[in-house]
Amino acid sequence: MGHIHFVRLPPTPPWRAVVRQIQDPSAGVRSIATATAAAAADRLDRLREDASLVYCFWLLSRLTSAARRPDFVDSLADVGIRAAPSDTAIVFVARVAELSRRELERHPESSPFGEFASLSLRRALTETVGSEGRSLFGSSLDDLERALAKHATPHRFGEIARRFFGDVLSRTLRFYVEKELSLYVGPGWGLASTAHADAFITDLDRYARQTATVMETFAEEWFALHDFRSGGRIGRDEAQGFVAEALRKIRDELDGRPAA
Amino acid sequence: MTELPPRRVLFRCDGAPIPARLGEQRWFDRRHIRSRGDRADLTLKIEERGGTVLTAIRSRSTDLVRIASYVYRADTLVPRAATNDASDERWRRHFALCIPVADLAYWEDPDVQGRLNSALNFGTGDTWEFAFAQATAEFWPLPFSIDPAELYDRPTAVSLFSGGADSLCVLLEAIAKGERPVAVGHWSTDTHEHRQTGLLTDLRRRYPGLAIPHFGFTVQGINQEGPEHTRRTRGFLFASLGAAVASEIGVERVLYGDNGPISINLPLNGQVVGAHASRSTHPKFLERFNHLIAGMFDHPIAVENPLLMRTRPEVLEVLTRTHAQDLLSSTLSCSTWRGRPIATPHCGVCTQCVDRRFATIAAGLEAVDPASRYQHDVFLEDLLDWEARMIAVSYVRFAQEINRLSDDDLLLHYGQLFDALTEDDPQAERTLRRLVELLKRHARSVLDVLATMTKRHLTELVEGRLPATCLLRIAVAGAVVPETGVSISKNLIETLQPEPPVASIPPLKAAPRENEFVFDADHWRWRLTYKDETRTVKSSVNLTRLACLLAEPFRAFSPEELLATAHPNPPGMMDVPQAISEGLGLEHYGAGGFLFDEDSGEFIEKGISGLRAAADAAREKGKDARAAEFEEEIARTKAEWEKGLKLDGTPRPHPDNVTRRPDSMRRSIERAILDIADRLPVLAEHLNDSVSIKDARYAYQPKNGATWRVVRPSS
């Protein structure tokens, strides 16, 4: 490997509480997720207005809307994507990745969360193709467009939004937890081996994605309203409003607060 | 919690004026970088080993080299870390550099600046902005000694050469293919330079028809390196140096080689984001760098990575194919090489060392790169340092995950793979598939090595003789079940239900608390648990020695063995003040001399030989003061060595040590038990019953069958 920068969690009381749970994870992933969200509360609150996160979600919503239009490729130009009908799905996702990366570079204040948003955007697109039983390998731009178009209804847009935010949450939780996890793997620890550690991370990932379900209905309603009002051209302000509310719901779910 | 925005630092380089648009902004700090004058803090030199013609490097090449040097210096001066920065918000920095250039019109072009920012942004994760000003004519030219191209038999490529294994393989393969490469190196210390020149001398001997010219760039801080060691700008610097030389000698290709998994450098675990992992040869970085230099020079130049689609073992096969396996031992991969003994130049636990270790085993090259050249055996020794454990465990987990995931799932989990596709790739899908296959081969290679090492040390695993925190034990979950031959980890994996609903996953049970003798590096204390009682005791070398006994019950240590186990730094390279500061105590060395054995003698001889070569090299370059330092070190080492020799020149133990050492060690163990008695009397009582000191041999022989989890300080 090349050089990799590793750090640990700060030795402050909230993070120590997280570390204790990692050392002895018998309380389960939900407890660790809640403790992590509590320790990172200030930073996670600021994500509601994060420019990179808003941008990536906005782009996802616009791509979904564009898939419903007869002029999909031309519509992509509205959001800055240069595509050709002969493109493969992989080329398209790579273009989206590059476009989102360029935007992220304008927002260094997003720190790692900008990167998470861009990766979650890619994953949401890839998973959407996969939801139609296709591999991204060998899929054309047409295949991706068809898969997205099926999700460009209020009911199914919720799925895409859930995939996106579930992935953001999963990466966020893992970002913090993995600053300590590998130190407490082995004989004598609750995670007795690397296999245990991987099972734990799989559980944490699954928990994050299930937690994101809490905003799915809201996503459906939001899309129904704003996609219609904007003629399929949802603006960034609308996207920002959605992100703020979606994250609030997710945070409440993590904290065990009843839904508003 | 206080917001932590990126640090914004403004640099004024060699007196370039600060424009109002930058001067009026708020900056965390404003600093100077000077490469000339009494207050110079940056050395920038180009040397050709054997060059005879002095000329001046051309304007844009000079500009590029200077820009890259200032950027590199600035990178080292602004720290990325901050306390209580759980979200890594201080990782990214914002740089503004005011730089004098020869070709102002070129660099003021917004398109050029955009491409410059783009390449640096991807490579470093930082934000960069520049303000250029006209350099004065007498200031600017960089002296560049070079023979005319004809004398070098028409070079066909520049090969960036770091002295590492991968860059050596690039050179060897280029030569084997009939290329006539020119090597370009960058060094910040004599050790680096010495290593690179030594390897190239070796290559010239093997290929007598080739000159293999070598251009070395010294780009380093004067007197003091900066506080930031991640140096993500090094890739940009190295590529810039290669492009500048290529421009001067008229070649179009710059070979910048690193194996594929390193180049795309996917995150080993979830905390690694973006440029946390270095991107020196990442395809996107090279794409953006090539975009920057497109049209910059008189002829097209492109930087390429010929090793992108190969794993590290596959790269090392070049050594075997070219019958140059022996050169591997002269290469250096370690990121913490400074100050390491010559015999163990690799720490064994940094990411580069771990990867190298796995790769050399996979490539069948252990004979030329044995475990003994690594200060720490990652497979068999305690991983006490947190970073060492993080790296080793994450390395294995990464391989296990890659191996487990389907190709489609790889794209889901590692969307970073899309960044490895370049915009103009006509076969992007094929490239992506090849990258997936590359990762699978890497994972398979890692797991095969793990299996090899497990089989090799199976008996020690089953008998419980390997430390609890060594990689083998962590990766294979403790032991193979005796008689069945089935590994415990396999059993456990099979009992985990595939994809159960979250609610029905039973909580992982905490392991029962066993007796513990654990060193807590964060608080510099020992945590002792015996019969469910836990206390902490302040750290001391006496406790470290006692811990060694508990880690190997029923083994009878001699005083020398216990000393070497507790403090494994090679004594021959340690001077007395250092030995005292590390708690080795004069009383253990009699009157302060060293105890030498034959191994120490051979080791010291090699060390002196290396020092002598370094002194000669320094003198050749006119660095007399540096040469004198090396000579002093040689004299000091020889004086200590001679104290330990008999009249016939064979090593002798200091006479006082014969009687003094056992008494000293006994007192040390007794002191440790006394320290424990103050805090955990029941344990002290057990130790008094169980620690045997007899005939100058020390052993822990628990009559009650007590077993221990022992974690010692890192050496």
Q: Find, among A246, A238, A232, the residue nearest to A152 by Cα.
A: A232
Q: What's the distance, CA A239 to chain centroid?
A: 14
- Using DSSP bridges, classify how beta strands B54-56 and B253-255 pair: parallel, antiparallel or unpaired: unpaired
User: Smallest CA–CA separation between B450 and chain A, in Å?
Assistant: 13
Strand order in the sheet with B533-538: B533-538, B525-530, B515-520, B708-711
Q: How far apart are the CA of B659 and the nearest CA of chain A, in angstroms?
A: 40
In terms of Cα–Cα distance, which of B80, B95, B90, B82 is closest to B33? B95
- Pairing between β-strand B214-221 and β-strand B181-187 as defined by DSSP bridges: parallel
Distance separating alpha carbons of residues B318 and B172, to the nearest angstrom: 7
Cα distances (angstroms) measured from residue B201 to each of A49, A63, A177, B197, B198: 59, 58, 48, 6, 5
Helix B59-77 × helix B110-124 angle, to 10°: 40
b/e sequence B614-649, b meaning 16+ C-beta within 10 Å: bbebbeeeeeeebbeebeebbeebeebbeebeeeee
Residue pair B686/B704 in contact by the 8 Å Cβ criterion? yes
The answer to whether the pTM exceeds 0.80 is: no
Q: Does A197 touch chain B (CB under 8 A)?
A: yes
CA distance A148 to chain B (A): 17
Nearest CA-CA distance, residue A105 and chain B, Å: 7
List chain A residues with CB under 8 Å of B9: none
Q: Measured between beta carbons, which residues in chain B are less than 8 angstroms from residue A2?
A: 258, 262-263, 265, 277-280, 351-352
CA distance A106 to chain B (A): 8
Q: How many CB pairs under 8 A join A and B?
A: 243
In A, minimum Cα distance to B392 occurs at: A182
Closest chain B residue by Cα to residue A170: B270
Which one of B90, B93, B393, B491 would you mutate to disrupt binding with A, by most A Cβ within 10 Å of its Cβ?
B393
Which amino acid is present at A159?
E
A187 at B interface, C-beta within 8 A: yes
The answer to whether B279 touches B230, Cβ cutoff 8 Å, is no
- Residue A81, pLDDT above cutoff 80: yes
Angle at A90 between CA A86 and CA A93, to 5 degrees: 105
Query: Which residues, 6+ apart, have CB-to-CB distance to B2 below 8 Å?
Result: none
Which chain A residues have a beta carbon less than 8 Å from that of B473? Answer: 186-187
Q: Is the pLDDT of residue A159 over 50?
A: yes
**3-state secondary structure (DSSP) of residue B691:** strand
- If one counts every other C-beta atom within 10 angstroms of the C-beta of residue B554, the result is 10
Q: Which residues in chain A have their CB less than 8 angstroms from residue B350's CB?
A: 3
SS3 assignment for A151-220: CCCHHHHHHHHHHHHHHHHHHHHHHHHCCCHHHHECCCCCECCHHHHHHHHHHHHHHHHHHHHHHHHHHH
Pick A4's closest partner by Cβ from B272, B429, B514.
B272
On whether the CB atoms of residues B87 and A40 are closer than 8 A, the answer is yes
Per-residue model confidence (pLDDT) at position B140: 62
Nearest to A122 by CA among A133, A132, A111, A130: A130
Closest CA to B142 of B236, B36, B250: B36
A3 and B230: CB-CB below 8 Å? yes
* Closest residue in A to B436 (Cα–Cα): A137
Where chain B has pLDDT below 70, the residues are 1-5, 47-58, 138-153, 188-191, 224, 477-514, 521-524, 568-607, 640-663, 714-715
Contact by Cβ (8 Å): A3, B278: yes
* Tokens 């090299």 -> residue: B617
> In chain A, whose CA is at the least distance from the CA of B117?
A105
Which residues in chain B have Cβ-Cβ distances shorter than 8 Å to A196?
477, 492, 508
φ and ψ at B533, to 5 degrees?
Answer: -105, 135
Cβ contact B502–A30 (<8 Å): yes
What the block records as the tokens of B265 is 């450098």
A201 lies within 8 A of chain B by CB: yes
Length of chain B: 715
Please give the average per-residue pLDDT across A82-95, as a whole number: 93
Contact state of B428 with A94 under an 8 Å Cβ cutoff: yes
pLDDT at B523: 57
What span, in angstroms and rounded, lies between the C-alpha atoms of B26 and B15? 20
Nearest to B570 by CA among B558, B584, B556, B557: B584
- CB contact under 8 Å between A2 and B268, yes or no, is no
Residue B659: Cβ within 10 Å count: 11
| CA separation for the pair B160, B210 (Å, rounded) | 17
pLDDT at B495: 33
Q: What is the nearest CA distance from B93 to chain A, expressed in angstroms?
A: 8
Cβ of A88 under 8 Å from any chain B Cβ? yes
Q: Please, which pLDDT band fits residue A246 given cuts at 50, 70 and 90?
A: very high
The kind and range of the H/E element at A257 are none
Q: Does A45 touch chain B (CB under 8 A)?
A: no
Start-end of H helices in B274-338: 283-293, 312-321
How far is A44 from chain B, CA to nearest CA, in Å? Answer: 10
Residues ≥6 apart with Cβ < 8 Å to A17: A35, A38, A39
List the single residue in A with minimal CA-CA distance to B261. A1
User: Across the interface, do B514 and A177 touch by the CB < 8 Å criterion?
Assistant: no
User: Which among A133, A122, A61, A175 is positioned nearest to B412, based on CA atoms?
Assistant: A122
Of B84, B89, B401, the CB nearest to A10: B84
Closest Cα partner for B162 from B220, B234, B228?
B234
A101/B386 Cβ within 8 A: no
CA angle B194, B196, B201 (to 5 degrees): 90
Q: Which residues share a beta bridge with B143? A: B56
Query: Can you tell me the distance from the alpha carbon of B253 to that of B303, in angstroms, rounded to the nearest whole number?
Result: 6
Give residues with Cβ within 8 angstroms of B484, minimum separation 6.
none
Q: What is the pLDDT of residue B646?
A: 59
Under 8 Å between Cβ of B353 and B334: yes
Q: How far apart are CA A180 and CA B3, in angstroms?
A: 23
Cβ atoms B99, B18 nearer than 8 A: no
CB contact under 8 A, B92 and A135: no
Q: Are strands B42-48 and B214-221 parallel, antiparallel or unpaired?
A: antiparallel
Distance in angstroms (rounded) separating the CA atoms of residues B326 and B13: 44
Query: Which chain B residue has the Cα nearest residue A5?
Result: B276
Contacts of B442 (CB under 8 A, 6+ apart): B260, B261, B311, B312, B399, B402
Paired strand residues for B127:
B94
Rg (CA), chain A: 19
Of B119, B332, B308, give the one whose Cα is nearest residue B232: B119
| Residue pLDDT, tens place only, A127-152 | 999 988 889 999 999 999 999 999 99
Q: Please, which residues have CB within 8 angstroms of residue B350's CB and are 6 or more apart in sequence?
A: A3, B334, B335, B336, B388, B391
Q: What pLDDT score does B136 carry?
A: 81
Instruction: Judge: A112–B273 Cβ closer than 8 Å, yes or no.
Output: yes
Chain B residues in contact with A175 (beta carbon < 8 A): 270-271, 273
User: With an 8 Å Cβ cutoff, are A1 and B118 in contact?
Assistant: no
Chain A residues 132-151 with CB within 8 Å of chain B: 135-138
* Chain A residues within 8 A of B502 when measuring between CB atoms: 29-30, 203, 206-207, 210
Residue that has been written with the tokens 């794993």 in this structure: B311
Residue with tokens 């069948």: B364
Residue type, B245: V
| Interval B91-108: pLDDT, tens | 999 999 999 999 999 999
Q: What is the predicted pLDDT for the residue at B504?
A: 34
Beta bridge partners of B538: B525
Closest residue, chain A, to B414 (C-alpha): A119
**Average of per-residue pLDDT across A57-74:** 93
Q: Is A35 on the interface with B (CB under 8 A)?
A: no
- Average pLDDT, integer, range A210-231: 93
Residue A234, φ and ψ in degrees, nearest 5:
-60, 135
Rounded distance, CA B235 to CA B74, Å? 14
**How would you classify the pairing of strands B515-520 and B525-530?**
antiparallel
Report the residue of chain B nearest A211, measured CA to CA: B502
CB contact under 8 A, B508 and A191: yes
